[in-house]
Structure 1
Amino acid sequence: MIFFVLGLLIVALFTWQLYSMLHYKSVMEGFKEKIEKLQSVVNKQQDETRVLITAYMTESRVISFYNDISPLIQDDEVLQLFNRLAKDEERHISLLENCMSKKSIN
């Protein structure tokens, strides 16, 4: 059952990536739209600091998910994918920490 769910998750991820590539005229337009969506979720009245904190918390939760589920994965290819995604999220965290340190957020 867990492999079925993981399979669906992976298919959804790749489908979204394909949809994004076909839907957006350029990568930058895609990034702009995703940033605007994040800002609308956070609240337009909040400042950039709050957006950074929310993004940091979200990335931390994603890393926790990957760390929690990794021991349950028995397929090597899926495990490698999850490990690669976790490393990407860790890079995102370090970039966010860099931005937060420039803004003196503790």
Structure 2
Amino acid sequence: MVEISCTQDEEVGDGTTSVIILAGEMLSVAEQFLEQQMHPTVVISAYRRALDDILGMLMDISNREVMLKIINSAINTKALSRWSELACNITLDAVRTVVLEENGHKEIDIKK
């Protein structure tokens, strides 16, 4: 949990409490499957498939209005509230700059 929080802080600079709550909830949900003797790799595989499904839905960056709503809910903090519209537009434009599409598969190169 400490590593998750540190990574969140390094990458985003905010949301460390939220990421710990989310990780705890994911572990809580996984617990019932582990108690049923389901192998951890099966549980992880299901989480990865869910992530792929979610990313598939979120990766449609052509719908600017929907993307701005998603970005706003993700980055709107007290510090950004005054400039949230500008920050969301800058964020979306930046993401569109680093999207790579190859064989129908989209990837965002966050290192750029």
Q: Which has the higher helix share?
A: 1
Q: Name the TM-score, length of structure 2 as normaliser.
A: 0.32
Q: Which has the higher strand share?
A: 2
Q: RCO (CA 8 Å, sep 6+): is it higher in 1 or 2?
A: 1
Q: Name the TM-score, length of structure 1 as normaliser.
A: 0.34
